[in-house]
Structure 1
Amino acid sequence: MPIKIPKELPAFKVLSNENIFVMNIERAQTQDIRPLKIAILNLMPIKIQAENQLLRYLSNTPIQVEITLLQTKTYTSQNTPIEHLEKFYNYFDEVKNEKFDGLIITGAPVETLKFEDVAYWKELEEIFEWSRENVFSTLHICWGAQAALYYHYNIEKYPLDKKIFGVFSHKVNKINEDLTRGLDDIFYAPHSRHTTTLKEDIEKVKDLDILAESEEAGAFIIATRDKRQVFITGHLEYDRDTLMGEYIRDCSKGMEVAIPKNYFPNDNIDETPLVKWRGSANIVFGNWLNYCIYQNTPFELEKINKLY
């Protein structure tokens, strides 16, 4: 899906070099079609890396996607140049009167905190509530998924004895569902978290389905019956070396952290990690854009109806 982004955004050069079709704003304006409006609330600490990862999977199909990058006002990232944030990001207040076909809420390195203790929790609650009436389908990732399940359904997260860290196999529970269409019966995805959401808590909510899960990592793809709310507990968007970077970071802080499971060949950190999840990531993000949004979103965005 050609991404409509400024030429100056670092992702434009990165994705162009990967032969992924990105479109500058000037070219997009010459095409007489309505692009899908997708907002990304980027809560990750290294925002440019997260931008590149997500935009890669929102690309290369025949429909334009217009991206709006969002940051929180109540907390400013310490790991992204302020010039980048000022140039490319909006605050929620600047877009809250708009409607969007889709919204992605990323993970964040705050999972050991209680939700209410997170600096931007009140702002995030406002965004969750706003999304019910102003977004057709919202995709929540890792901590973003846990936070949304807690806000919308009062589903708690629980600390783990050991961090779920590595690349894990998953099985598809519902083959004919739109989000899992085309996935192998067994597929792989990265996880990196200290907390989990229990399957039995999710199953108590009649409107939620667990579409894919892992014996080691638990429920993975969760969605409402109408796919207006999607929750992914891992990181399909991660690059080859993202887990390696997290491992090196944690080791440098003196933390006790195990080598990511099923990631380095022979568990040798000097060997190049093998990517086992790229095909699955393309399928899931593509399914979300096509079946959950494009095939169902109103052409006139003001006609988006309120959720429950």
Structure 2
Amino acid sequence: MTIPSGPGDGRPDPGLNAIMSERRQLINLAYRLLGSLAEAEDAVQETYARWYAMPLERRDAVESPGAWLMRVAGRVCLDVLGSARARRERYVGQWIPEPLPDRGEWPGGRPGEIAADPADQVTLDESVTMAFMVVLEAMTPAERVAFVLHDVFRYSFAEVAEIVGRTPAACRQLASSARRRVRASQAPVTPAADRTGVVGAFRRAWAAGDVDALICLLDPGATVVADGGGVASALLRPVEGAGRIARAFAGITAGVPGLTFLERTVNGQPGLVVRHDGVTVVVVAFEVAGGRITRIWAVRNPEKLRPWTAG
């Protein structure tokens, strides 16, 4: 689907630039709500399609087009979340949110494709870390929408209620429940430099296949979750324990010669990108607490690695 260039009657649309300037904010909202950049882009396209499906007179009567677009995008995402839960129950293996590169590392895409528009890039902050996105996945659709709109985008509960289709009091309860989930999952804050150091040491140990060094960097109760989606080989279930995880990662190094390990920003946090013959084959996100890695998310599904494709 493409966004129309103007009204259906062929007249120029003087508000087109203003409308399109909202695209980045819409992508930011939709990614946080859906956990998938591809689904977020589709949701935003649908939002614009609904805008241009309205008669020009109705569009002219909208006092704040940006607010209208955000409300509609929220409703579209709420509908998508309802169907996504069923799809993810049928997903092969574990489902992990789509990882995002740092804005400065966003590649140009596949040969022949137009480079990614900076306006489409998601703003990377604490509300898109992989740990945060995974917690959002555990929420009900209504909880997720109410929480993200209120706590991240600062919408009033009256505005949230209009989008979710519930009373402001009910939306307050939804956001409160979601907030408890977030607090229960939060790890102690680790300084950025320490996180970077630990991930860098993990990269070196992984590249060398050094099991002992990997174990030293992992919390004894660490967990790794991998996402291959049935398209790429990956662990179908989470693996727990420093020793088991270290041996699994060392086995990858031994079994696939010629891997390149790169330190990159993944969802705003230190992470790793692994390439084979110049192609990104896995993106890894980490949670670090107490100087050790407590959780690892490894995305292998190539459909989720589109933003990481070398240009």
Q: TM-score, normalised by structure 1?
A: 0.26
Q: Tell me which of the two structures has the higher relative contact order, counting C-alpha pairs closer than 8 angstroms and 6 or more residues apart.
A: 2
Q: Which has the larger radius of gyration?
A: 2
Higher helix share: 2
Higher strand share: 1
